[in-house]
C-alpha cells in the first residue's frame, strides 16, 4: 500500500495538494480552496505527465469531477470504482500519491492504471473497460448483505458505458433498487449550449432528496393504477422530474430503474459538488451525466484529444510531441498490409473494437470507409460480427489487442472455430507491452488460442514476415487464422533470407552443431543475437524460425532436436499451454533435450520492454548465458 504522506515532495510547489493525503482532507476546504486544488491537480498532470508520458487528455477532463466527488463522499469507507485508469490520475493525486507521481508508468513506479496492490483506495483494478458498474454493484450488494452503510459509486466513460457488460450491469442494478451512483464521464462532445447556469441550477434542484422522494412515490403510485390511468400518471411523474431536465438522454436510464441527473457541466466544480452531496444520500440507483472536455486546460489537447490521449514525454511549453522517426512498427506494417490486400480483393474488410489508431487502421478507415467497422468497446460483438461476415463470404480481418481478445474467448471458440469460419485475427501487442503493465501484456494468446481445434496460429519474426503472413491468411479459407505480433519494431536483426510461408512449416535461419534455438515471433531476433554472442566464444548455434505455433512443424523441429545435445524453445508467452508445451507434447521422448523458456507463471509488472524481457530471461544475453552454462553442465556430466 502507498504511504499516506507527501513529506518527500518539495514543499510549496503544490501548496494545497501537498496537504491532501486522503480524500477526507478535502472536507475541510471551502469551494474557493477546492477550485485551487483542482487547478493544482491539473497542473500536476500537465507537468508530470509531460515528463513521464501516459494517458493525458482524458485525465485532464476529469479533474473537477473528481475533486467535487471526493469532497462530497467519505473515502473511506465509501467506495468509488473507476472504469479503466485513463481517467483516474486525479484519483491518484487525491489519494496521497503526489510524492511518487514522477514514477508514473516507470519500472517499479506507480502503475498507469488502478491496482488494489498499489493503494487501499484503489477499490477495484481497472485496465479493461466496461467493468466499473458490475464491480460497483458487487460492492453495493456486499454492503447490503453485511448490513454496512457505506456509499458506492462507479465512474465510467462514454465509450465504456455502452459496452455490453456495462448495460448488463445497469439493467441488473436498476432491478435491485439499492444505493448505487453511476457517474457518466461524457467527453464525446463539447459542453452543450443548454448546460449553463440556469440548467445547472435546475439539475441541482432535481437531485435533492426531497424532490426525488416525491418523484419516487409518484412512480410507485402510478404502477399500482389501471393501465389507462397509469399512462397519465406516468406522464405526470415525468412532468415532475423531466421538466427540470427535458433531454431524452435520461429517459432510457430512468426506464431501467435509475434516477437520472443531468446533463451537467462536469467542469463546474460548485455544481458538481452540490449534486454529489445530494445524490450520495439517495437510497436508490442514481445516474449522474457529466459532460466534460478531454484535454481541458491544455488547448492543443482540447482541439485534438485523440492525438493527446496517450503521450510520450513532450515539451509542455511548446506543445510539441515529437516522435522520432525509426524503423517501421508492426502496427504500421499491419495497416499497410491490410490496405494492400483490400486493394486487390473487394471482399477484404477490417474490424476493430474501439482501437483504430492503436491497431493501425486509421488509413484503412479513410480509404475504405465502407469496408471498415469499429464496434466500440465490444470485443465479443466484433468477433461474432466477423464470423457472420465470413459465413456470408467476406474476408474479415479482425484487429484486436491480444489482451482484449481474451474477453471474446467464447465467441472465438463457439462462433468462429466450431463452425470453421475463415476469420483472420490480427493480434497487436502480443507479449510484453511495456509501461501499460499486467492488464495489457499479451502473455496468454498462444495458450488460450492454441487449445482450440482447427486454429492456425502464427507469429512473424519481423515486419516483412508479418505482411507475408497476412497474404497467406487472405488466401486461406479452410478455417480461422491468427497472427500475433509485438508492440514496437523488429529492429532488422535477422538477415534477409526468406522462404515462402507454407501452412505449418518452419524455416532454419542458421545451422550449428552445439546448441539449437527454436524460436517463435519476437524471440527469433533474440535467438539470432544469442547465437551471435555464442559464436564469439566458439559455440555454434542453430536458429529455427518456427513461424507456426499451430500446427507446428514436427518434422523440422524433431530433426533439429535429434541432432543437438540441447534445444531451447523460446516464446514471449506464458509457458503454461504455450508453444513450448506444444513442442514437448509432440515429441515427449526428447523431454530431456528440451529447455522451455517463456514468461513466468505470474503477472509481469510494468516497465520498458527491454527491462522486462531481461528480468524474465528472454533477452539475448540471458539466453546465451543460459545456453553456455547448460552446455558446460552437459560436458561435466
At 287-319, the pLDDT tens digits run 999 999 888 988 888 888 888 888 888 888 888
Helical spans, DSSP H, in 225-361: 227-242, 249-255, 269-279, 299-303, 330-344
Do 287 and 259 meet the contact criterion of CB atoms below 8 Å apart? yes
Stretch 554-561: mean pLDDT = 97
| Cα-based distances in Å from 204 to 65, 183, 270 | 15, 15, 10
Nearest to 61 by CA among 155, 185, 150: 185
Give the range among 115-129, 160-174, 541-555 with minimum mean pLDDT: 115-129
Name the average pLDDT for the chain: 87
* Most distant pair of Cα atoms in the chain: their distance: 93
- Over residues 447-467, the pLDDT tens digits come to 999 999 999 999 999 999 999
d(CA 493, CA 499): 17
pLDDT for position 298: 87
pLDDT for position 302: 84
In percent, the amount of the chain with pLDDT more than 70 equals 88
SS3 of 28, please?
helix
pLDDT for position 313: 87
| Cα-based distances in Å from 427 to 291, 395, 462 | 34, 16, 14
- Whether the pLDDT of residue 256 is over 70: the answer is yes
Stretch 258-266: mean pLDDT = 90
- Over residues 466-499, the pLDDT tens digits come to 999 999 999 999 999 999 999 998 876 787 788 9
- Whether the pLDDT of residue 565 is over 80: the answer is yes
State the cell numbers at 367. 480509404
DSSP 156: E
Kindly compute the dihedral angle of the four CA atoms of residues 526, 532, 537, 541, in this order, to the nearest 10 degrees.
80
- Over residues 587-634, the pLDDT tens digits come to 999 999 999 999 999 999 988 899 999 999 999 999 999 999 998 888
Stretch 366-371: mean pLDDT = 97
State the cell numbers at 486. 509485438
Nearest to 36 by CA among 19, 53, 61: 19
- Over residues 72-111, the pLDDT tens digits come to 999 999 999 998 777 888 999 999 888 888 888 888 888 8
pLDDT for position 3: 37
Do 425 and 481 meet the contact criterion of CB atoms below 8 Å apart? yes
d(CA 335, CA 347): 17
Prediction pTM value: 0.82
SS3 of 286, please?
strand
DSSP 127: S
d(CA 246, CA 267): 21
Q: Could you tell me the domains of the chain?
A: 17-311 (3.40.50.970), 330-484 (3.40.50.970), 507-636 (3.40.50.920)
- Whether the pLDDT of residue 11 is over 80: the answer is no
- Active centre residues (catalytic): 294, 379, 407
- Whether the pLDDT of residue 543 is over 90: the answer is yes
- Whether the pLDDT of residue 7 is over 70: the answer is no
Distance of CA 509 to the CA centre of its chain: 36
- Whether the pLDDT of residue 244 is over 70: the answer is no
Residue 197 confidence class, pLDDT cut points 50, 70, 90: low
The dihedrals phi and psi of 598, each to the nearest 5 degrees, come to -160, -160
- Whether the pLDDT of residue 140 is over 60: the answer is yes
The dihedrals phi and psi of 368, each to the nearest 5 degrees, come to -125, 60
Amino acid at each position: 500500500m502507498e504511504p499516506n504522506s507527501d513529506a518527500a515532495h518539495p514543499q510549496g510547489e503544490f501548496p494545497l495538494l501537498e496537504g491532501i493525503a486522503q480524500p477526507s482532507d478535502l472536507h475541510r476546504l471551502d469551494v474557493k480552496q477546492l477550485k485551487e486544488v483542482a487547478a493544482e491537480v491539473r497542473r500536476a498532470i500537465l507537468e508530470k505527465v509531460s515528463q513521464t508520458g501516459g494517458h493525458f487528455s482524458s485525465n485532464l477532463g476529469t479533474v473537477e469531477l473528481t475533486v467535487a466527488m471526493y469532497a462530497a463522499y467519505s473515502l473511506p469507507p465509501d467506495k468509488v470504482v473507476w472504469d479503466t485508469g485513463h481517467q483516474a490520475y486525479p484519483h491518484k493525486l487525491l489519494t496521497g500519491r503526489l510524492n511518487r507521481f514522477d514514477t508514473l508508468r516507470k519500472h517499479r513506479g506507480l502503475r498507469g492504471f488502478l491496482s488494489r496492490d498499489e493503494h487501499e483506495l484503489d477499490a477495484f483494478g481497472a485496465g479493461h473497460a466496461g467493468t466499473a458498474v458490475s464491480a460497483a454493484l458487487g460492492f453495493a450488494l456486499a454492503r447490503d448483505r453485511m448490513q454496512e452503510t457505506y456509499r458506492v459509486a462507479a465512474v465510467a466513460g462514454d465509450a465504456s458505458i455502452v459496452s455490453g457488460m456495462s448495460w448488463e450491469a445497469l439493467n441488473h442494478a436498476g432491478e435491485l433498487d439499492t444505493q448505487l451512483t453511476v457517474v457518466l464521464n461524457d467527453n464525446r462532445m463539447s459542453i452543450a449550449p443548454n448546460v449553463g447556469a440556469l440548467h445547472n441550477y435546475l439539475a441541482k434542484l432535481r437531485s435533492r432528496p426531497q424532490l426525488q422522494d416525491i418523484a419516487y412515490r409518484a412512480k410507485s403510485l402510478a404502477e399500482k393504477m389501471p393501465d389507462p390511468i397509469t399512462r397519465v400518471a406516468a406522464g405526470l411523474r415525468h412532468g415532475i422530474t423531466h421538466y427540470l431536465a427535458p433531454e431524452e438522454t435520461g429517459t432510457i436510464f430512468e426506464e431501467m430503474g435509475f434516477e437520472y441527473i443531468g446533463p451537467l457541466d462536469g467542469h463546474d466544480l460548485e455544481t458538481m459538488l452540490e449534486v454529489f452531496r445530494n445524490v450520495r444520500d439517495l437510497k436508490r440507483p442514481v445516474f449522474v451525466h457529466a459532460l466534460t472536455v478531454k484535454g481541458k486546460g491544455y488547448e492543443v489537447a482540447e482541439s485534438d484529444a485523440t492525438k493527446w490521449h496517450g503521450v510520450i514525454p513532450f515539451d509542455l511549453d511548446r506543445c510539441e510531441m515529437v516522435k522520432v522517426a525509426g524503423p517501421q512498427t508492426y502496427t504500421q506494417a499491419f495497416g499497410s498490409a491490410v490496405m494492400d490486400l483490400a486493394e486487390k480483393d473487394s471482399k477484404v474488410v477490417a474490424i476493430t473494437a474501439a482501437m483504430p489508431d492503436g491497431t493501425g487502421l486509421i488509413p484503412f478507415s479513410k480509404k475504405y470507409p465502407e469496408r471498415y467497422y469499429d464496434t466500440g468497446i465490444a470485443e465479443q460483438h466484433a468477433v461474432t460480427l466477423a464470423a457472420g461476415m465470413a459465413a456470408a463470404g467476406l474476408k474479415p480481418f479482425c484487429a484486436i489487442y491480444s489482451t482484449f481478445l481474451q474477453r471474446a474467448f467464447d465467441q472465438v471458440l463457439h462462433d468462429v472455430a466450431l463452425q470453421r469460419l475463415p476469420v483472420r485475427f490480427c493480434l497487436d501487442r502480443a507479449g510484453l507491452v511495456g509501461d501499460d503493465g499486467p492488464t495489457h501484456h499479451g502473455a496468454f494468446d498462444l495458450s488460450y488460442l492454441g487449445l482450440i481445434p482447427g486454429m492456425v496460429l502464427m507469429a512473424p519474426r519481423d515486419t516483412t514476415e508479418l505482411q507475408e503472413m497476412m497474404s497467406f491468411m487472405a488466401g486461406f479459407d479452410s478455417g480461422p487464422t491468427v497472427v500475433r505480433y509485438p508492440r514496437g519494431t523488429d529492429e532488422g536483426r535477422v538477415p534477409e533470407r526468406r522462404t515462402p510461408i507454407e501452412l505449418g512449416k518452419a524455416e532454419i535461419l542458421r545451422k550449428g552443431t552445439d546448441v539449437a534455438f527454436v524460436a517463435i515471433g519476437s524471440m527469433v531476433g533474440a535467438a539470432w543475437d544469442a547465437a551471435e554472442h555464442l559464436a564469439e566464444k566458439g559455440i555454434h548455434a542453430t536458429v529455427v524460425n518456427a513461424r507456426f505455433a499451430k500446427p507446428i512443424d514436427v518434422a523440422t523441429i524433431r530433426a533439429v532436436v535429434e541432432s543437438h545435445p540441447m534445444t531451447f524453445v523460446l516464446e514471449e508467452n506464458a509457458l503454461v499451454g504455450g508453444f513450448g508445451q506444444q513442442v514437448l507434447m509432440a515429441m515427449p521422448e526428447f523431454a530431456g533435450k528440451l529447455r522451455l523458456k517463456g514468461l513466468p507463471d505470474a503477472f509481469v509488472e510494468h516497465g520498458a520492454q527491454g527491462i522486462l524481457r531481461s528480468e524474465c530471461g528472454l533477452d539475448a544475453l540471458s539466453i546465451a548465458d543460459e545456453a553456455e552454462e547448460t552446455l558446460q553442465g552437459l560436458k561435466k556430466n
